[in-house]
Amino acid sequence: MSRTGLSNPKGPLQTEALFTPAPYEIDFTGLLSNTVAPRWMERLRMKLINDHFADQGLLDPEQLSVIARSAIDYLHPIRMGSTMRGQVKIVRCLRSSWSIAFTFDDNNTGEVHIRAQQVGAFLNAVTFTPARIPRAVKERIEQAFQTQ
Amino acid sequence: MEQRMLFEKTCDIIHEIVGIKAEMITLNSSLRDDLEADSLASVEIVMALEDCFNIEINEELIRRLVTVGDLIRAINAMLARAALRLPDGVQSIANATEYP
């Protein structure tokens, strides 16, 4: 598994982490497999929740945050030995879903290699019905947007 | 509530969620086919309407929503229920007498 360097959250409702490709994540072309990006994104998404909403129970079954849509732009290949800086931030928040944006850039050169966007839906995993984003979470996000 | 105002408010909310201009929306517009509102967007629209009109649209009604007209009818039904405080499952005064 890729090594993940964890750092403090950067900015309001933004999180970042360092990623280093593991040897077995390199495919036959000598480049990082495209299948790795969704896993890196998931680690960032979980870190975002833990860094900013650990007290809000967003992984509780009654208000579970799940991935509803992902779109990934692979802009440049990633090679063994690279260290990528992944960042995620909330870009839109509605009543039962939010959109979060990811970038993975080279930690040395700053060149962006991957851009992605995800829509996360909140649902009650017990009744399988849509759930509202908890009021405290929504207020925290709105407050962060206002201070940006 | 005046029906035109209700329709305009609904169109504003649809515009806010899916980005379709309000003037492109009619009562016959299909949420999915014409307005490209997927299930996520439909949920957002319903929740926004609930907040706007201080009502709760029940699951059964949500499943039957196809057009904007259906949405308006659902809001009207819920507003009427809220005004009359009808119990769940009772759609109008006509059959309200069946319930204690």
pLDDT in tens, B38-95: 888 999 999 999 999 888 887 777 878 899 999 999 898 888 877 776 555 555 444 4
pLDDT in tens, A50-65: 999 888 887 788 888 8
Q: Tokens standing for A123?
A: 């649902």
Q: Which residues of A touch B37 (CB under 8 A)?
A: none
pLDDT in tens, A69-126: 999 999 999 999 999 999 999 999 999 999 999 999 999 999 999 999 999 999 998 8
Query: What pLDDT sits at residue A58?
Result: 79
Instruction: Summarize the confidence of residues A131-140 as an average pLDDT.
Output: 90
Q: Look at residues B40, B59, B88 and name the one whose alpha carbon lies nearest to residue A119.
A: B40
Query: What pLDDT sits at residue B69?
Result: 93
Cβ–Cβ below 8 Å for A121 and B40: yes
> In this structure, are residues A10 and A88 in contact, taking their beta carbons and an 8 Å threshold?
no
Q: Rounded to 5, what percent of chain B is helix, strand, coil?
A: 60, 0, 40
Instruction: Summarize the confidence of residues B1-26 as an average pLDDT.
Output: 90
Length of chain A: 148
Please tell me the least confidently modeled range out of A131-145, B30-44, B79-93.
B79-93
Cβ–Cβ below 8 Å for A96 and B44: yes
| List B33, B38, B51, B70, catalytic entry | B38
Q: Where are the alpha helices (DSSP H) in A6-134?
A: 36-53
Tell me the C-alpha distance between B86 and B22, whole Å: 32
The verdict on B52 touching A (C-beta cutoff 8 Å) is no
Q: Tokens standing for A76?
A: 């440049």
Cβ–Cβ below 8 Å for A95 and B40: no
Task: Tell me which chain A residue has its CA closest to the CA of residue B18.
Answer: A94
Q: How far are the Cα atoms of A2, A28, A46, B26, B66 from residue B37, in angstroms, in the given order?
A: 38, 41, 28, 14, 10
**Strand intervals (E) in chain B:** none
Query: What pLDDT sits at residue B98?
Result: 39
Q: Where are the alpha helices (DSSP H) in chain A?
A: 36-53, 135-147
> In this structure, are residues A50 and A4 in contact, taking their beta carbons and an 8 Å threshold?
no
B34 is annotated as an active-site residue: no
Tell me the C-alpha distance between A10 and A12, whole Å: 7
Q: Mapping DSSP to helix (H, G, I), strand (E, B) and coil, where does residue B95 land?
A: coil
Cβ–Cβ below 8 Å for B44 and A121: no
Q: Tokens standing for B2?
A: 């005046």
